[in-house]
Structure 1
Amino acid sequence: MIPTNYHLFDFLDFDTDLRRDESLWKAYKPTAVSERDGDILVSVPFQKQVLANDMAADTSIPKEEYTLVIRQYEPKILRLFIGFGEEQMTDESEILQFSQRVRKVPLSASFADGTWTITDPDGVKRAEINMKEPVLDRWSTLLPDPQETLDLRLFPDGQREIRLAAYDHFSPPRYDALPLAFCKLDGKKERATMSFECKADECFAGTGERFMKMDLSGQTFYLKNQDGQGVNNRRTYKNIPFYVSSRMYGAFYHTCAHGKLSLAGMSTRSVQFLSRQAMLDVFLIGGDSFEEIIRGYRDLTGYPSMPPLWSFGVWMSRMTYFSADEVDEICDRMRREHYPCDVIHLDTGWFKTDWLCEWKFNEERFPDPEKFIRGLKDKGFRVTLWQLPYVAEDAEQITEARENHYICTLTKQQQGEGSNFSALDYAGTIDFTSPEATEWYKNLLRRLLNMGVAAIKTDFGENIHMDAVYKNMKPELLNNLYALLYQKAAYEVTKEVTGDGIIWARAAWAGCQRYPLHWGGDSCSSWDGMAGSLKGGLHFGLSGFAFWSHDVPGFHSLPNFMNSPVSDDVYVRWTQFGVFSSHIRYHGTSKREPWHYPAIAPIVKKWWQLRYKLIPYILRESEKATMGGSTVLQALIFHHPEDKICWHIDDEYYFGDDFLVAPVMNSEGRRDVYLPEGKWVNFFTGERIDGGRWLKDLEVPLELMPVYVREGAIIPVYPEPVDCTDDMDLTKTVNLVIDETFKGTEI
């Protein structure tokens, strides 16, 4: 859309020709403030605006009044809710999963000197409503006086002020943001917006797997899950309606509706949120660190669970293996040549027809799947399987699925002839709003899991059929939530049958962090694909997720998607990045086994061996991440939010709390490395370096990567080479103490 630079059109999505029957209703000063059951109820009148480019009150229409609810929780969480007469506040939500730490704190309100002050039982101020008239020195009537507004200041932690953007306008008719408003279309309420004040130097991060620079200020996002089609564009598989700010607060928008989030993008003075549903349910989370803020978010939406030990080993896959014999040959060679590996993944080719998902093995190419899976398990390999949440027209389950309404009922003929890359190419989306359909799907997986399959790749789920009827939800609200319902079902049945809580998922929405783990989607096997993947992973970790992986060495090739070879240096450098990720899986459109790259295979094997050596450390950091607000892959700002340099670094990261990793992402083998404050030790050479400085133009041989560890850190490692995690006796773990005696680790 060509921007108009009018807030009405560019953010609120009004028809630029003003031909539709739509209207904007703007919040005015509250008419009353009261207390009920510990909540503060604010009566807010809304005045209709004339349908024009410039905003002005349509006084021929009476105001409509709705209640804004203010509720305080511990730890340091303040909730704002307004349903505009359409929705009621509730804690019963697929997204919400309050922890025991979440405790409602009763609030009271008092009025003095033109201000409502809202306090908790300890007298700590949690909100303030300014009812005063602005101070004027009137000398001109050139412009009309501004309309009334809602001037609300919030203090979720009792200290830091977060203010609704009450005065973000140039002149009375020219608004850049509105503190609170809703819209009507054809007489029905269908959109709502809320804005918070943004400071001139404020930075932002999070919002899901965002393939962008570290500081997201100046960006506006459409929060609608879709196939990202790579990792170098604005599309994304994982939108999370949660951000963190350099002012040390987080904002979580409890919704599954499509919407917009503008982080000082439409206006540098405001953070703006637009929901396509006439409801706003916003949690503001305070804290002294990002760990504390993200833990507060998890207190609301759930904590990640701990994946099983075997999942932290190497996963081997490609698109795809086509027979039991092919898989056995690869696994036997892994063991024979001592490439440590725990998982063999079967992607789209284990069905009767490639890509035609029927949740059944091809009987000719996999004649005895139980024996096949059992034989691999005896060698230390777990088998994981690809599938998706759509039923094809030619699938053997299609009649059963249609007759029992296990898939949505289409209301419009779908376009497409079966490219297999879109939900539109399938007969219907499995309806996870239906308990019966969910159980049917679980039974499809239960049969596979009972055969010995270790985990399911819950691919796709970003898109659903929108011109369709689902049992308990409109598609416009289901689209974003679908990933959560889909992954929850697969996770639950896997945990039930195998005892291991794990899936391998691509899409995500708020709450999906409860069901690990997620990977970064279809990246290109190139330096920009690697860089985009890391950017996405860093923002994802600041969005509440503890575990994240990516396809090593990228998924597809260029210029030929399927057939261009992967270069040796990309393969090695991405391997190094994968070793220092929570999980490491090889996957892509061409051969991925290291012996197909003979010039660099010995280097790859050494890095795999290092991965297994580090598994005790990875386990420790993973356990930590499931109990608080940390993540395994941490942006530098996670530890250094006050360091303005770190807000501009998206190509290095902390791996757990003790490692600093700087992947090389170019064929020249050179890069700059920023060491934050502290004392650092080169993990491979033992060299000691003071932080708070740049290391410029480092030359990094292909077999090495810049990896530093905090001085004084204790790193648990496994002391013996193994072929898989089944060979590990973790009581043999020893500690590397990073003191003056540490001289580096061989690779």
Structure 2
Amino acid sequence: MPYAFSRSLQAAATLAALLLATPLVQAAKTLSAPSGELTWQDDGSVQITRSGATIIDLQQIRFDYHAPLSVKLIDANDHSIRVALSFPAAVDFRSRATEPLDIELTMSRHGDGFRFYADAEWGNQVTLDLADTGDHVFGLSSPLQPENRHSPDLRESSVTVEVTNAAQTMVENFASAFSSFYISSHGYGAFFDTFGAGQYDFAINGRHKIHHETGTLDWYVFFGDDGRAIHQAYYELIGAPKSLPLWAVGPVGWRDQNDGGAAEILDDLQRFEDLRLPFTSWFVDRPYSDGANEWSLMNFNAKFAKPEEWISTIREDHGIEFMTWTATAFFGDTPMPKHLPGGFTYADLSDPATVALYQQKLTELQHSVGVKGHKMDRADEHLPNWEKWADETVAIGERRNKYAYLFAKTHDESLRRTWGDDQFTFSRAAIHRAQPYLSAIWGGDPRTSWQGLQGNAANAMRASFMGFPVWGTDVGGYLGPGYIDTDLYLRWTQFGIFNGLLEIKFDGSGGDGPDRMPWSYDKTFQSDFRELLELRMALLPYLHSLANTSATNGPLMQPLAYRHLDDPNTYDIWDQYYVGDGLLVAPVLTPGTAREVYLPAGKWYRFDFAEGVQSAHEGQRAMGVQAALDEIPLFVRANSLMVTGDIYRGNSRNWLEGEANTLVIHAFPGGIGEQTSFTYIDSKDDNKPKTITLTRTDESVKVVAPELTQEVTIEVYLDGKKQVKTVPAGAPLEATF
């Protein structure tokens, strides 16, 4: 045999042996969704692309901090990719595994996005290691992590996701809403569906990292060009946000300390009525009960005796609904079947018998006498993680977050049995998946200072990114004196008027010092304060409609980056926001009368609800504006609609009796061929949604809507100039200008 031929046979045999010994290279597998594409590589990495660009580069999934030993494709089709992951044997407190630990990872289509799911029964932690793709990230934490930073942009940040009293180290004090949901400037939202505590690093050492204290990976990616579209997909997963009754959208008042009992509340309400200051609801804060910390018996004490009588007076004589402060902390007392040991002796909300008795007490002692809502407090302080829960399946790392969820659910269920949808709950402690049970969150206990006001405004923006639709500040501040300077008081109230929840605090922390009741100030202040409350009342049709369409339209207070993910100029802005589709609010949050406003792309009008359009401006630029102490810088985008009017009166019914109710549609046409719409929730017609449309052609402007239950005035600002038409109640609404 020739030498060369012999060598070629040997080479072929060697090659064949190598091929048999080497696993075949697995081809990449792809899942396609209408807005994006997921590609799994045989090294275990995953890339998600949108419009041809990589927006997520998931390099590795680790369980209990271990990288997989091997990654093997199981199968793939148009809807899912299944992969086997093998991890090294681990020795920990619970197990002494000696063989590799195997799990199955499924990547699947979920709506217009994707889901990653793997359950390691032996696992305690999941970590996602991602490459830094240059995006900016928003959400996760209402507290101003890191370092009390006002900017909502979390790039180059490390953020903890756990409802904990560490929030009191932040400037705003106990702003304790968290969520394992964030929005990326690349046009997606991500949600890790777990109550396990989380740690998120963005653009740290060239990568992103997502870590949760759980053995189950359940991670979703939602696509959208803005926050509204992303949140719509998110709410389809976790449930629609809780609906709001109309009375809860109006001004809410309270004192931190009612030493004078029920008589003091009634006296306050009468004085508000004498000054013609409108309110729709009121609540009593602790203390008002007997037992430990003047709360643990959950009743009304002697100062508040016969609650059915004075609460009825509040409703029937003053037109105001009433709420109370509640907590599942019992401060050393143990009246429930099961408590968690510790100084606060929290009720164990994982114990069905405890939940049943707590809800029974609320019903019998409070709801039955007319209480329609609760300020829910203290779920973020001193909760003992390591004490035994009745539900032993709740892991240590999940307890703080799950408790906040159970806190909201427990109160909503109790109220719902008595009042149905006609009830309201708000809490400073919140976590994802509480949205169907929690009406609103408030921004914790801000300092009574400009710094406190600014910190709370920044909290609001972060809460909106997380997907909590309704947020409110303690107007005037909480930690500090009651009486504050007029400038700070009015600016804080102006900001509060355009919060989802408007609640105004009228005394100092614990009732200390002189209060800030309006009659403690001069006539000029009282007049300015009255005008602001009247504006809030006029905004009820707009705000109530927005609150009850948030499942599709997003939160009431929408940060600029939320609406303009493609505009880097918006990423750091925390002190101005949209309310609805076209109204831009830029409150003055510092001493003085000047501030800078950034107008996104488009045509804008400086607007005042009393005076109308004041000036026109082209967007995508910053500009300095002036605002006197009685002015709020407001801008309206061309091609937008707002609805205001007199649809609910609260205590103002006692001085507006006989005056006709009105409804006003404010229309700001866009360019020729542009159209927009607004969904109006008609509270006088069983809260039916009714779509109002605005269209501009080369010949006319047209406003069309179904029959509305009130007389309607239509104000069209055609290139800034107002034209007006009136349509009677019950008539088809089709007005041409």
Matching of residues 429-448 of structure 1 within 5 Å:
429-447=346-364, 448=366
Contact 1:313–1:724 (CA under 8 A) maintained in structure 2: no
Contact 1:296–1:629 (CA under 8 A) maintained in structure 2: no
> 1:221 aligned to 2:159?
yes
Of 114, 124, 149, the match for 1:190: 124
Of 368, 380, 385, the match for 1:466: 385
Q: Percent of aligned positions with the same letter in both sequences?
A: 23
Of 435, 454, 460, the match for 1:513: 435
Q: Structure 1: which amino acid aligns with 2:545?
A: R
CA shift for structure 1 position 683 = 1.6
Counterpart position of 2:425: 503
CA shift for structure 1 position 300 = 1.2
Q: Distance in 1 between matches of 2:723 and 2:475?
A: 26
> 1:77 aligned to 2:2?
no
CA shift for structure 1 position 37 = 12
Q: Distance in 2 between matches of 1:690 and 1:635?
A: 20
Q: Across the two proteins, how many residue pairs are aligned to each other?
A: 582
> 1:286 aligned to 2:223?
yes
Q: Structure 2: which amino acid aligns with 1:665?
A: L
Contact 2:326–2:377 (CA under 8 A) maintained in structure 1: yes
CA shift for structure 1 position 724 = 4.0
> Deviations for 1:691-711, whole angstroms, at most 9, x for unmatched residues?
324454423210001111123
Q: Structure 1: which amino acid aligns with 2:595?
A: R
Q: Distance in 2 between matches of 1:725 and 1:609?
A: 9
Q: Distance in 1 between matches of 2:449 and 2:132?
A: 37
> 1:633 aligned to 2:560?
no
Q: Structure 2: which amino acid aligns with 1:375?
A: T
Q: Distance in 1 between matches of 2:77 and 2:451?
A: 54
Counterpart position of 1:203: 136
CA shift for structure 1 position 592 = 3.8
Q: Distance in 2 between matches of 1:283 and 1:41?
A: 16
> 1:314 aligned to 2:231?
no
Contact 1:26–1:46 (CA under 8 A) maintained in structure 2: yes
Q: Secondary structure at the match of 2:296?
A: coil
Q: Distance in 2 between matches of 1:24 and 1:630?
A: 36
Q: Structure 2: which amino acid aligns with 1:616?
A: P
Question: Tell me, which stretches of 5 or more residues in structure 2 are unaligned?
Answer: 1-62, 145-149, 663-683, 685-709, 725-737
Contact 1:491–1:503 (CA under 8 A) maintained in structure 2: yes
> Deviations for 1:551-595, whole angstroms, at most 9, x for unmatched residues?
1011112xxxxx474221111001001111112001252524222
Counterpart position of 1:367: 305
CA shift for structure 1 position 315 = 0.6
Counterpart position of 1:608: 533
Counterpart position of 2:8: none
Matching of residues 568-607 of structure 1 within 5 Å:
568-587=486-505, 589=509, 590=511, 591-598=515-522, 600-607=525-532
Q: Distance in 2 between matches of 1:584 and 1:252?
A: 29
Matching of residues 322-361 of structure 1 within 5 Å:
322=259, 323-352=261-290, 355-361=293-299
Query: After alignment, is 211-220 or 231-240 more displaced?
Result: 231-240
Q: Distance in 1 between matches of 2:384 and 2:66?
A: 32
The two structures, once aligned, show a CA RMSD in angstroms of 2.9
Contact 2:198–2:212 (CA under 8 A) maintained in structure 1: yes
Contact 1:719–1:733 (CA under 8 A) maintained in structure 2: no
Contact 1:356–1:392 (CA under 8 A) maintained in structure 2: no
Question: Tell me, which stretches of 5 or more residues in structure 1 are unaligned?
Answer: 1-21, 52-59, 87-188, 415-424, 558-562
Counterpart position of 1:46: 87
Q: Structure 1: which amino acid aligns with 2:590?
A: N
> 1:481 aligned to 2:402?
yes
- Max Rg structure: 2
In structure 2, relative to structure 1, the CA distance for the partners of 1:719 and 1:390 (3 Å cut) is closer
> 1:668 aligned to 2:618?
no
Counterpart position of 2:548: 623
Q: Secondary structure at the match of 1:542?
A: helix
> 1:383 aligned to 2:317?
no
Counterpart position of 2:717: 738
CA shift for structure 1 position 475 = 4.2
Contact 1:317–1:347 (CA under 8 A) maintained in structure 2: yes
Contact 1:637–1:643 (CA under 8 A) maintained in structure 2: yes
Q: Distance in 2 between matches of 1:461 and 1:533?
A: 19
Contact 2:175–2:443 (CA under 8 A) maintained in structure 1: no
Contact 1:359–1:445 (CA under 8 A) maintained in structure 2: no
CA shift for structure 1 position 329 = 0.6
Q: Distance in 1 between matches of 2:234 and 2:553?
A: 8
Q: Structure 2: which amino acid aligns with 1:457?
A: K
Q: Secondary structure at the match of 2:117?
A: strand
Counterpart position of 2:208: 271
Counterpart position of 1:256: 195
Q: Structure 2: which amino acid aligns with 1:279?
A: T
Q: Distance in 2 between matches of 1:343 and 1:234?
A: 25
> Deviations for 1:413-471, whole angstroms, at most 9, x for unmatched residues?
x4xxxxxxxxxx32x21111112111111111112011001211111212422231110
Of 102, 114, 122, the match for 1:65: 102
CA shift for structure 1 position 293 = 1.1
CA shift for structure 1 position 252 = 0.5
Q: Distance in 1 between matches of 2:640 and 2:553?
A: 20
CA shift for structure 1 position 718 = 1.1
CA shift for structure 1 position 360 = 4.0
**Which structure's residues are more often strand, by fraction?**
2
Contact 1:609–1:721 (CA under 8 A) maintained in structure 2: no
Q: Distance in 1 between matches of 2:214 and 2:411?
A: 29
Matching of residues 507-586 of structure 1 within 5 Å:
507-515=429-437, 516-557=439-480, 563=481, 565-586=483-504
In structure 2, relative to structure 1, the CA distance for the partners of 1:525 and 1:650 (3 Å cut) is same
In structure 2, relative to structure 1, the CA distance for the partners of 1:606 and 1:195 (3 Å cut) is same
> 1:492 aligned to 2:413?
yes
In structure 2, relative to structure 1, the CA distance for the partners of 1:297 and 1:234 (3 Å cut) is farther
Per the normalisation by structure 1, the TM-score is 0.73
Q: Distance in 2 between matches of 1:73 and 1:518?
A: 29
Q: Distance in 1 between matches of 2:645 and 2:355?
A: 41
Counterpart position of 2:642: 715
Q: Distance in 2 between matches of 1:741 and 1:37?
A: 52
Counterpart position of 2:572: 648
